[in-house]
Amino acid sequence: MKGTTHIIGGIAAAVVWHKFTNTPIQEPIYYYSAAFIGSIIPDICHPKSMIGRRLPILSRIFSKIFGHRSLSHSLLFMMLLYILFQQLTFIGSTSLGLGVLVGVASHILLDSMTTQGVKFLYPFKMNVRMPLYVRTGSLIGENFVTLSLLVLTFLFLFT
């Protein structure tokens, strides 16, 4: 998926998670901003991604060590992020941590809807892919996913 699709997916996931679970969000600006950022973090493994272009050295190193759609697209990565955010104790840190995790989860879910899939159980090499998938960057596939995410977001916002 492209960066804009992931950002829309991260915001959509944050809205749905908040409404569906009725989770109290202490600092909404932290939560939604963190979901926005979290939705592009997993692509640190791709030097030409939105985040990879902004952090090129870190992206190249991560890519060489782990490869694309491996560690940063895995359950292990989410667990490491959870442990990291549990260490934060400032006001709003819970909202920040939850937002990042929701954004990262949405990214992984969206990339599992592509032909390549993700290595969700990294370090195991097996790729995980949804039964319905699209080709990354395909005009029809990306637009369909983006439109579906926007509709889902508005449905949850206004119900």
Give residue 156's pLDDT.
Answer: 77
* Residue 2 or 13, more confident: 13
Nearest alpha-carbon partner for 19 in 8, 37, 32: 32
**pLDDT tens readout for residues 78-129:** 999 999 999 999 988 999 999 999 999 999 999 998 999 999 999 999 999 9
Give residue 12's pLDDT.
Answer: 93
Predicted TM-score (pTM) of the model is: 0.90
* Residue 87 or 19, more confident: 87
What is the average pLDDT value for the chain, to the nearest integer? 91
> Residue length, the chain?
159
